[in-house]
Amino acid sequence: MGHETRFDQAAMDTAMQEYIHSGRLAGVQVLLAQRGQVIHERCYGYRRLYLRSPLNGDSLYRIFSMTKPITSLAILMLWEEGHFDLQESVECFLPAFKRLSVFNPNGEPQPLDRPITFHDLLTHTSGLGYGLDPSTPVERLYAQENILRTDEPISHKIERIAAIPLHHQPGARFTYSVATDVLGYLVEVISKQPFDRFLKDRIFDPLEMVDTAFDVPEHKRRRLGPLYTRLKHLPLLDIEITPPQLRPTFLRDAWVNKDQKPRFLSGGGGLVSSMNDYSHFAQMLANRGEFKGKRLITEHTFQTMTSPQLHEHQNPVPGMNLGYGLSVMTDPQKAQLPGTAGSFGGSGAAGTTFWIDPDHELIGILMMQYVSTIPVAIAADFTRIAASYVLMETHHEPA
């Protein structure tokens, strides 16, 4: 029996279309593939809602934090070549980090117990901040310093980041931060290449990712639709016409408008990509580091990247853990999420998400452009329907 006959395409279509028909989303594109073969790929809804222009297979998306696995892969390529050890201090490459301090319980800066390592940055246990959560002193300082501004290169940001105390001692716990942006700069420093050039030469070209970049050239701009948001009970709005004071820093300027390459090439969230491009990246991971006969990383490096790296006292989410640049599911029941133990993936602020189930050689990718404090559960619905296919596929396989 072919895989297609086991997949409940009608259930997927019904679930996805409901988000469009109800007005909760403008458009969504999904892909499900197994062993390199596409099981289901479809676009629903609109790229530009109010022009009623349909979402097409060539659509481009701001993938935000789905940039992080790509940046993490880049730094692991350099690790594999022997440029540094994962437990090595990054001060060797970033002298400004020798000045880092940490807030003590009284809110006063004090010296670090030990320097930040590459492992700390790859697992978000460094203690750095992001500037997205005004409830902590460190986050407020990041916001005041406007660390995420797009008109300033990361080389300039490093000096200002080093002047802000850490949330906690390196390695103490998980704190989501600009760590992956720092890793992007480390790629530049170690490789002696601009970050975007390294990504193109070492990752995008070998993976035939022709549409993935930090900006969108003029001849491709029609393929990038608006980023939509919702305020209270209003219909979907193009975020660029909403008042700036209602938008966080990362939803302004070149974070949204991709007409020109920003000075800040954000390894944590700056890339635009397509479903086709990102499926190549995902397929390389599903193939344990290889794509169409080209090996980007060894199986050992792949295993390191996709294995749980957080200790129990560092881990904030039951049933989930972190690899390097990837989330890793360790216990679906504890996580209360559909999926399989050992699955790994990531997501982005605009609702994009991907996961890979290595046991079943299954890839799921969902692309959309929606950011709001009013959440939608479409990623969970997509994963649940895909997971039911896995169960059927496993049940029907001959002994």
3-state secondary structure of 238: strand
Per-residue pLDDT tens over the stretch 133-178: 888 999 999 999 999 999 999 999 999 999 999 999 999 999 999 9
Nearest CA to 266 out of 117, 80, 66, 128 is that of 66
Output the pLDDT for position 316.
Answer: 84
Which two structure tokens, joined as six digits, stand for 150?
Answer: 């797009």
Pure H helices in 168-252: 179-191, 195-199
Output the pLDDT for position 282.
Answer: 98
Output the pLDDT for position 394.
Answer: 55
Nearest CA to 278 out of 182, 214, 364 is that of 364
Output the pLDDT for position 72.
Answer: 98
Contact between 86 and 125 under an 8 Å Cβ cutoff? The reply is: no
Output the pLDDT for position 106.
Answer: 86
Which DSSP category does 170 fall into? T
Output the pLDDT for position 120.
Answer: 98
Contact between 268 and 122 under an 8 Å Cβ cutoff? The reply is: no
Output the pLDDT for position 392.
Answer: 62
Q: What is the reported pTM? A: 0.95
Q: How far is CA 169 from CA 90, 157, 341, in A?
A: 15, 21, 31
Per-residue pLDDT tens over the stretch 340-361: 899 999 999 999 999 999 989 9
Which two structure tokens, joined as six digits, stand for 5?
Answer: 């006959």
For the chain, give percent helix, strand, coil, nearest 5.
Answer: 40, 15, 45
Nearest CA to 265 out of 349, 148, 368, 375 is that of 148
Q: How far is CA 205 from CA 33, 77, 211, 282, in A?
A: 22, 15, 10, 15
Output the pLDDT for position 279.
Answer: 98
Backbone angles phi, psi at 44, to 5 degrees: -125, 135
3-state secondary structure of 324: coil
Question: Bridge partners of 353?
Answer: 347, 366
Contacts with 132 (C-beta within 8 Å, 6 or more apart), sequence order: 139, 143, 248, 249, 250
Name the CA radius of gyration of the chain, rounded: 21
Sign of CA dihedral 114, 119, 128, 105: negative
Q: What DSSP element (H or E) covers 344?
A: strand 344-347
Which DSSP category does 214 fall into? S
Pure H helices in 145-253: 154-162, 179-191, 195-199
Half-sphere exposure in the Cβ direction for 280 (13 Å, CA): 20
CA atoms of 65 and 267, how far apart (whole Å)? 9
Taking 50 as the pLDDT cut, the residues of the chain under it are: 1-5, 396-399
